[in-house]
Amino acid sequence: MKVLAINASPNRDKGNTALILTPFLEGMKEAGAEVDIVYPRDLTIQPCTGCYTCWLKTPGRCIHDDDMTWLIPKMRDADIQVLASPIYVWGVTGPMKIMMDRMVSLVQPFIEESDGKMRHLQREETKSHQTVLVSNCGFWEMDNFDPLLAQFKARSTHGNVQFAGALLRPHGPVLREMIEQGAPVQDVLDAAREAGRQLVQEGSINPSLLKTISRPLIPKDEYQKISNQNFSEILKKNL
């Protein structure tokens, strides 16, 4: 089984998103998956121009000759795509959005209707696959992920794509501090690892694991206090 993971955090494998993504991918590897990870920040990917050349003139091939040229074949060949990004203004980071726009070449211009909704047909050379969202945000509440979740679920309706679930970590910055302090958060990391193993071996993720990954780490008011104190201290040092 081939897994393509795309980590769009500007901090790559050192960011808060990677705290959940890394054990998730380790669990997939332990279950026998072949995992390939890329970082959009390190790539040259031009924005989609909306010219429809990849649909109407050179089917499946974009006018831009950049890193999407070798990345698109990996996307077509993946059994599971893992898209990871921190929340930036209730969406993905800029590099991830540009990359997602360019994925239009993976589908055809033709439209079919299914379950009362119009969808684009997937290209024959693209595998049917599952997609997973991994994300973290700086706010405490889970509903900060709602806009991003809606986008990813909608994206999965085009082509033969199954949305396999989302590993979401609210008030993400505090997780790193708690790990460094030896606080009891190992269950969160273990759940992420088990989720990866389950998806590869069983084709799905137990909702209880996703709930553990997203569980509250500290009370809301305490998180607000700690966050504001940290920002205040940094500002004092820099001013």
Query: Global pTM?
Result: 0.92
> Could you tell me if 109 and 120 are in contact, meaning their C-beta atoms sit under 8 angstroms apart?
yes
pLDDT band at 159 (very low <50, low <70, confident <90, very high): low
- Mention every residue, 6+ apart, whose C-beta is less than 8 A from residue 117: 157
pLDDT band at 229 (very low <50, low <70, confident <90, very high): confident
Note the pLDDT tens digit of each residue in 2-56: 999 999 999 999 999 999 999 999 999 999 999 999 999 999 999 999 999 999 9
Which residue segment(s) compose the domain that 151 sits in? 2-238
Distance between CA 198 and CA 192 in Å, rounded? 10
Give the number of other CB atoms < 10 A from CB of residue 179.
14
Which among 48, 35, 33, 45 has a CA at the least distance from the CA of 8?
Answer: 45
Q: What is the CATH number of the domain that holds 123?
A: 3.40.50.360
Based on the structure, what is the number of domains in the chain? 1
Per residue in 207-220, is it b (16+ CB within 10 Å) or e — as a string? Answer: eebbebbbeebbee
- Mention every residue, 6+ apart, whose C-beta is less than 8 A from residue 12: 18, 39, 41, 42
Alpha helices for the chain (secondary structure H):
16-30, 53-56, 68-77, 94-102, 146-155, 173-180, 186-202, 207-213, 220-238
